[in-house]
């Protein structure tokens, strides 16, 4: 289901993000904070309509939560989120896995933050390859989460969402390669054709 949500956020080789996809990502970010990294992807790729739907959905759900419950409950929820970032990492988070393989706790606890920072920079670097940037954002769902359950690494499947589609849309890893006439591949192909 998760890959359907992310697949709905973009269609076709050029990835035109729809407002409905932005709203769905906003819904996910309202349930679990880590999908907010997709907002950065929307900003980098200037998908303003989807970003507006994302922000509107997040604000509407936050308002619904505040007005639908006691304000103290909402404040406690924000406290729990903050405590999750300060608490010891979960055993299935990137930091938890790093601890299992022997990294010191002081280093391991920094890995999710470092992954988010490096991932956000990588999304900018990959801005000419939207599918790659989208995959990086999908990988950050797990890599950037300080608290993860046993099923959380399955969120890495969201990184595969851009690769799902017809074979005619994409080649290996979801990228189309069209050699230019001055490239060695095009020159060899033209020579072979004659």
Displacement of CA 47 from its chain's centroid (Å): 15
Query: What is the number of other CB atoms lying within 10 angstroms of the CB of residue 130?
Result: 23
Q: Which of 57-66, 88-97, 129-138, 168-177 has the lowest mean pLDDT?
A: 168-177
Q: Half-sphere exposure of 38 toward its Cβ, with a 13 Å CA cutoff?
A: 38
pLDDT of residue 30: 82
Summarised one tens digit per residue, pLDDT across range 1-25 is: 444 555 554 444 344 557 888 888 8
For the cut 50, the answer to whether the pLDDT of residue 136 exceeds it is: yes
pLDDT of residue 119: 95
Residue 89 DSSP symbol: P
What angle (nearest 5°) sits at the alpha carbon of residue 151, between those of residues 84 and 59? Answer: 50
For the cut 90, the answer to whether the pLDDT of residue 60 exceeds it is: yes
For the cut 60, the answer to whether the pLDDT of residue 97 exceeds it is: yes
Q: Which of 19-28, 45-54, 141-150 has the lowest mean pLDDT?
A: 141-150
The pTM of this model reads: 0.68
Instruction: End-to-end CA distance of the chain: give it in Å, rounded.
Output: 49
Model confidence at 188, in pLDDT bands (50, 70, 90)?
A: low
Query: Of 44, 45, 47, 23, which is closest to residue 35 (Cα–Cα)?
Result: 23
Model confidence at 125, in pLDDT bands (50, 70, 90)?
A: very high
Phi, psi values for residue 53, rounded to 5°: -65, -40
**Higher confidence at residue 192 or residue 51?**
51
Domain map (residue ranges) of the chain: 2-167
For the cut 60, the answer to whether the pLDDT of residue 36 exceeds it is: yes
Rounded average pLDDT over 121-135: 91
């Amino acid at each position: 289901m998760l890959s359907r949500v992310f697949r709905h956020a973009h269609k076709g080789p050029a990835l035109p993000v729809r407002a409905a996809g932005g709203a769905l990502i906003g819904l996910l970010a309202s349930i679990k904070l880590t999908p907010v990294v997709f907002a950065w992807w929307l900003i980098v790729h200037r998908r303003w309509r989807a970003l507006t739907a994302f922000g509107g959905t997040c604000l509407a759900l936050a308002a619904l939560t505040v007005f639908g419950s006691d304000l103290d409950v909402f404040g406690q929820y924000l406290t729990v989120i903050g405590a999750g970032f300060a608490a010891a990492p979960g055993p299935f988070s990137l930091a938890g896995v790093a601890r299992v393989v022997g990294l010191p706790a002081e280093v391991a606890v920094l890995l999710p933050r470092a992954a988010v920072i490096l991932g956000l920079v990588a999304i900018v670097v990959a801005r000419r390859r939207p599918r790659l940037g989208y995959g990086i954002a999908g990988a950050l769902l797990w890599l950037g989460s300080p608290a993860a359950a046993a099923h959380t690494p399955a969120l890495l499947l969201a990184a595969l969402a851009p690769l799902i589609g017809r074979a005619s849309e994409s080649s290996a890893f979801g990228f189309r390669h069209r050699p230019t006439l001055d490239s060695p591949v095009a020159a060899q192909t033209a020579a072979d054709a004659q």
